[in-house]
Amino acid sequence: MGCHEAALSVRQEVISLYHTPNVDGQEQKWCLSHALYYYGITLSDMGHHEDALSVRQEAVSLYHTLDIDGQEQKQHLANALHDYGNTLSNLGCHEDALSIRWEAISLDHTLNADPVNHHHSSNTSSPLPTSQTPTPPAVIQDDSM
C-alpha cells in the first residue's frame, strides 16, 4: 500500500468516526469539516477528482454552518473554497468555479485587510485598499462552441 492509499484509508476512518447521522456541536462539525477537507486533498492527489468534488462540496457546506469568527477558522474556510473552486475548474465547471473562487478571494481580502491578521501574516501587501471589496468580473458567454 502506497502513501496515498494509506492516507486515504486513515482519512476515511477519521471521517467515519465524526460522520454520524446527527452531527451536532460546533467542535464535532469543525473536526468533520477538517477531515473532509484533507480527505478531498488526498482524493484529488490520487486523481479521483469526481470523488474529491463531492467531498470538498460537503466540507465547504459544513464550514458554512459553523460559527466562524476567528482568523484561523476563516483561513480554513478560504482554503476549502479555493480547493473546491480548483476542483470545479478541473472538471470543466468554470462558471461555478468562478463564483466559488470569488467567495474565497473576498474572504482572503478580509483576512489580509484585518490589521491584527496583517501583523502576523507573511503576506502583508494587499493589492486593494482595505475599504474596497473585490467584485467578481462579468462572465462572458461564448456561444460559438
Give the pLDDT confidence of 70-123 residue by residue, as tens digits: 788 888 899 999 999 999 999 999 999 999 999 999 988 888 876 554 433 333
Number of domains in the chain: 1
Q: Is 75 among the domain residues?
A: yes
**pLDDT-derived band at 23, boundaries 50, 70, 90:** low
Q: Is 124 among the domain residues?
A: no
List own/partner pairs for 82-88 with CB under 8 A and 24 or more apart: 83/37, 83/40, 83/41, 83/44, 83/56, 84/40, 84/53, 84/56, 84/57, 84/59, 84/60, 87/40, 87/44, 87/49, 87/52, 87/53, 87/56, 88/53
Q: Is 68 among the domain residues?
A: yes
- Global pTM reads 0.68
Mean pLDDT along residues 24-32: 80
Q: Is 28 among the domain residues?
A: yes
Q: Is 51 among the domain residues?
A: yes
CATH classification at residue 40: 1.25.40.10
Q: Could you report the per-residue pLDDT of 7-17, keeping only the tens digit for each? A: 767 676 667 66
Q: Is 53 among the domain residues?
A: yes
Q: Is 31 among the domain residues?
A: yes
Q: Which domain range does residue 87 map to? A: 3-117
Q: Is 102 among the domain residues?
A: yes
Annotate 25-70 with DSSP letters as a single string. SHHHHHHHHHHHHHHHHHHHHTT-HHHHHHHHHHHHHHHHHS---S
